[in-house]
Amino acid sequence: MENFSCSFDGTTVDIRDIKFTIMESMITKSTEFPRSGEKWFKNMGINGEYWNVFLKNPNMDTTVFKKGIPSTMLKSKWRNLLLVLKEIFY
């Protein structure tokens, strides 16, 4: 799973010597998640206004983070929740 998530660029995946295309319709069919709601892609920048509630320093410039915000930058109540979620899903 980690190889998949690290190599997925939004359309293609490279796992060892196999390369294939992933379409939104395929994900919807396999997960049964609806194709509605807010779209998110890991290669998009982080918009600071959404993160201010969670950060220790709400005025922090989040544009410096390219691959996500380190958990040490989060308020403790959110950091603890994140750790619990990581244990469940990883």
Confidence of residue 48 (pLDDT cuts 50, 70, 90): low
Indicate the pairing of strand 18-21 with strand 12-15. antiparallel
State residue 41's pLDDT score: 58
State residue 7's pLDDT score: 75
Confidence of residue 27 (pLDDT cuts 50, 70, 90): confident
**Residues 13, 30: Cα–Cα separation, whole Å:** 16
**Residues 63, 48: Cα–Cα separation, whole Å:** 7
Predicted TM-score (pTM) above 0.85: no
Residue-wise pLDDT for 59-90, tens only, equals: 888 777 777 778 888 898 888 888 888 888 76
Mean pLDDT of 34-60: 71
